[in-house]
């Protein structure tokens, strides 16, 4: 019995041979051989060209998608500067319009745009005179004269000219209506 269980060396070689043959067959099934490119002398220059091309393409893509411009940073961008002066509120005015049979009223709030600081002090000092000039101009208008956009612009010009005639330290840059109601 002991002899049956112990295998002879010649039998072992036969079994090993079968196992090795099976392993070789399975390796051959999955062993793919890729064709080799024979570049020889041209291998290094081609690789350099590929790497440089890839780097340039990547840089171009990054700049394009990130919004970077190719303009130099030293170049100054055109800046638009708004030239807006300080505003001075003159308050709200309610006046009866001239030439109306039914007592039409105009309610308007006016702000003045000034050029410089000394002008602000002068406007404060002469505020009563300026308001009187504005009221006189507003009362002189008929409903037809202030009903249209052109009429409003003409009224602004007249108020500006009336205020400018009272000032000595400078001129008013603009007149703005923050409320304009005719009833």
Looking at the structure, tell me whether residues 66 and 146 fall in a common domain.
Answer: no
Q: Is residue 59 part of a domain?
A: yes
pLDDT at residue 129, rounded to an integer: 93
Q: Are 172 and 160 in contact, with CB atoms under 8 Å apart? A: yes
The residues, ordered by sequence, that sit 6+ positions from 52 with a Cβ below 8 Å of its Cβ are: none
Average confidence score pLDDT of the chain? 77
Band of residue 42 on the pLDDT scale cut at 50, 70, 90: low
Query: Does residue 46 register a pLDDT over 90?
Result: no
How many folded domains does the chain comprise? 2
| Between 162 and 21, residue with greater pLDDT | 162
Q: Is the pLDDT of residue 34 over 80?
A: no
> What is the Cα gyration radius of the chain?
47
In a domain, 101, yes or no: yes
**92 & 171 share domain:** yes
- pLDDT score of 12 more than 80: no
The angle formed by the CA atoms of residues 27, 28 and 31, to the nearest 5 degrees, is 80
Is there a single domain that holds both residue 118 and residue 59?
no
pLDDT at site 83: 60
Same domain membership, residue 125 and residue 173: yes
Residue at 26 is within a domain: no
Contact 105, 96 (CB under 8 A): yes
3-state secondary structure of 70: coil
For residue 172, what is the domain's CATH number? 3.30.479.30
Residue 68 has pLDDT above 80, yes or no: no
Q: Give whichever of 5-19, 33-47, 76-90, 125-139 has the largest mean pLDDT.
A: 125-139
Q: How many CA atoms lie within 13 A of 45 on its CB side?
A: 4
The parent domain of residue 141 ranges over: 87-182
- Kindly list the distances between the CA atom of residue 112 and the CA atoms of 90, 127, 134, 136, 137, in Å, as whole numbers in the listed order: 7, 11, 12, 17, 15
State residue 6's pLDDT score. Answer: 55
Q: pLDDT above 90 covers what percent of the chain?
A: 19
Q: Are residues 103 and 173 in the same domain?
A: yes
Per-residue DSSP letter, 156: H
Q: Model-level pTM?
A: 0.54
**C-alpha–C-alpha distance, residues 183 and 166, integer Å:** 30
Task: Verify that 93 and 171 share a domain, yes or no.
Answer: yes
């Amino acid at each position: 019995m002991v002899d049956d269980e112990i295998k002879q060396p010649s039998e072992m070689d036969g079994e090993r041979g079968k196992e090795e043959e099976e392993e070789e067959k399975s390796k051959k099934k999955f062993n793919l051989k890729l064709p080799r490119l024979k570049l020889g002398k041209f291998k290094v220059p081609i690789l350099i060209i590929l790497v440089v091309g890839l780097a340039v393409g990547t840089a171009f893509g990054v700049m394009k998608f990130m919004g970077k411009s190719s303009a130099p940073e030293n170049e100054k961008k055109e800046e638009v500067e708004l030239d807006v002066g300080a505003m001075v509120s003159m308050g709200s005015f309610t006046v009866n319009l001239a030439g109306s049979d039914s007592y039409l009223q105009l309610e308007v709030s006016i702000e003045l745009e000034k050029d410089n600081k000394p002008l602000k002090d002068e406007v404060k000092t002469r505020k009563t005179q300026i308001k009187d000039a504005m009221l006189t101009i507003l009362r002189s208008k008929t409903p037809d004269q202030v009903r249209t956009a052109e009429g409003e612009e003409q009224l602004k010009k007249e108020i500006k000219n009336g205020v400018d005639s009272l000032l000595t330290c400078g001129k008013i840059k603009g007149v703005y209506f923050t409320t304009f109601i005719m009833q």
